Amino acid sequence: MSFISYLINGISLGSVYAIIALGYTMVYGIAKMLNFAHGDVIMVGGYVVLTIVTGMGLSPMVGILAAVVACTVLGVVIERVAYKPLRNAASSLAVLITAIGVSYLLQNVALLIFGADTKSFTSVVSVPAVVLAGGALTISGETIVTILACIVIMVGLTLFINKSKAGQAMLAVSEDKGAAQLMGINVNGTIALTFAIGSALAAVASVLLCSAYPSLTPYTGAMPGIKAFVAAVFGGIGSIPGAMIGGILLGVIEILGKAYISSQMADAIVFAVLIVVLLVKPTGILGKQVQEKV
């Protein structure tokens, strides 16, 4: 029984990683950059919801909408100011470093505005928990909502990318920027749109992360951000279903590792599994193997 209970806990932790990884992998797949500031955009989303719901007493829906708007605007502004000027830089690492700069910036702005003390987050999820097997197993409402949200977003994104015109443009840009431009695709607009969608997903992730683990500090986003990055690579970075699978697997491995091996070494176990997976399948679980040409 305790195994099933660990499994459920793992899935609920994993679903949070998965929803963050979706935004991460989306931006990576199209803009080909590791957006280290993604976790901090999530943190900003958390503070927006907190301010609106707890500070102003408005309804959670208003809070979520405001967070989506705020994060989208923030994401687009960051892209325009800090990433776009470096898009054609001599090395792709340059933009990675500015992303780190942006991450520091967001953390420190939040520190100055909201202070360093932990704020407790009131869950915005009103779905009741499901209790099974006479109280031995509990699946929290947050978990149910997070997993449903993950599936909806995953299906929605896949449809959007494969069926809509803008989605096709994204695919084209990710394949070959130059050729896409020649075909009349607005490359800058498409990348800006990608960041807008990625940041809107971050806002949704922030609501679910903070509802499941209700403590908010300026550094809340950093560690889940890195974990989600690992999850995205796990599933094959750039692959949308891969992000979801990677996230959930990561959560399950983390919880089972803690439960059956050692709670002190949970991180080492997660990373060791990651290394093994990548050595067996060097592009992640659902990653595409790109053939190298001379």
Partner 1 sequence: MKKLKQAAALLAAASMVVASLAGCGNKTAETAAPEEAQGSAEGTWKIGGIGPTTGGAAVYGLAVKNAMELATKEINEAGGINGHQVEISFEDDEHDAEKSVNAYNSLKDWGMQMLVGTVTSAPCTAVVEKTHEDNMFHLTPSGSAVESIKYDNAFRVCFSDPNQGVASAQYIGENGLASKVAVIYDSSDVYSSGIYEKFAGEAANQDFEIVAAEAFTADNKTDFSVQLQKAKDAGAEMVFLPIYYTEASLILKQASTMGFAPKFFGCDGLDGLLAVENFDTSLAEGVMLLTPFAADADDDMTKKFVAAFEENYKDTPNQFAADAYDAMYTIKAAVEKANITPDMSVSDLCDAMKTAMTEITVEGLTGTITWTADGEPDKDPKAVVIEGGAYKAM
Partner 2 sequence: MKTKKINMNKTTKSNLITYGLVIVAFAVMQVLMATGNVSSLMKGLLVPLCTYAILAVSLNLVVGILGELSLGHAGFMCVGAFSSAFFSKCMVDVIPVSGLRFFLAILVGAGVAAVFGILIGIPVLRLKGDYLAIVTLAFGEIIKNLINVFFIGKDSKGFHFSMKDAMSLHMEADGQVIVNGPQGITGTPNDSTFLIGIILLLITLFIVLNLIHSRAGRAIMSIRDNRIAAESVGINITKYKMMAFTISASLAGVAGVLYAHNLATLSAQPKNFGYNMSIMILVYVVLGGIGNIRGSMIAAVILTLLPELLRFLSDYRMLIYAIVLIAMMLFNWSPKSLELRERYSPKRLLKARREAKEGK
* Site for partner 2, rule CB under 8 A: 34, 36, 82, 85-86, 88-91, 93-94, 96-98, 100-102, 104-105, 108-109, 111-112, 226, 229-230, 233, 237, 262, 264-265, 267-268, 271-272, 274-275, 278-279, 282-284, 292, 294
Measure the CA–CA gap between 224 and 39, rounded to whole angstroms: 7
Query: Of these partners, partner 1, partner 2, none, which one is at the site of residue 294 (CB under 5 to 8 Å by kind)?
Result: partner 2
Query: Of these partners, partner 1, partner 2, none, which one is at the site of residue 229 (CB under 5 to 8 Å by kind)?
Result: partner 2
Concatenate the DSSP letters of all residues of 11-27 into one string. Answer: HHHHHHHHHHHHHHHHH
Site string for partner 1, 162-201 (x = CB under 8 A): ----------------------------------------
C-alpha closest to that of 211 among 127, 155, 151: 127
CA angle 199, 200, 205 (to 5 degrees): 90
C-alpha closest to that of 226 among 34, 15, 12: 34
Under rule CB under 8 A, residue 144 binds partner 1: no
- HSE at residue 191, side-chain half, CA atoms within 13 A, is 22
Residue 138 in tokens? 């509990």
Q: List the beta bridge partners of residue 216.
A: 119
- Please give the size of the binding site for partner 1, defined by CB under 8 A: 37
Q: How many CB atoms lie within 10 A of CB 294?
A: 2
Query: Of these partners, partner 1, partner 2, none, which one is at the site of residue 284 (CB under 5 to 8 Å by kind)?
Result: partner 2
Q: List the beta bridge partners of residue 139.
A: 130
Site string for partner 1, 89-128 (x = CB under 8 A): -------------------x--x---xxxxxxxx------
Residue 49 in tokens? 């919801």
**Which alpha helices (DSSP H) does the chain contain, by range?**
2-31, 38-50, 60-78, 93-114, 141-163, 165-175, 177-182, 187-212, 222-235, 240-260, 266-280
Nearer to partner 1, 3 or 148 (CB): 3
Query: Of these partners, partner 2, partner 1, none, which one is at the site of residue 138 (CB under 5 to 8 Å by kind)?
Result: partner 1
Contact set with partner 1 (CB under 8 A): 2, 5-6, 9, 13, 50, 54, 108, 111, 115-122, 129, 135, 138, 140, 213-215, 217-219, 223-224, 254-255, 258-259, 263-264, 266-267
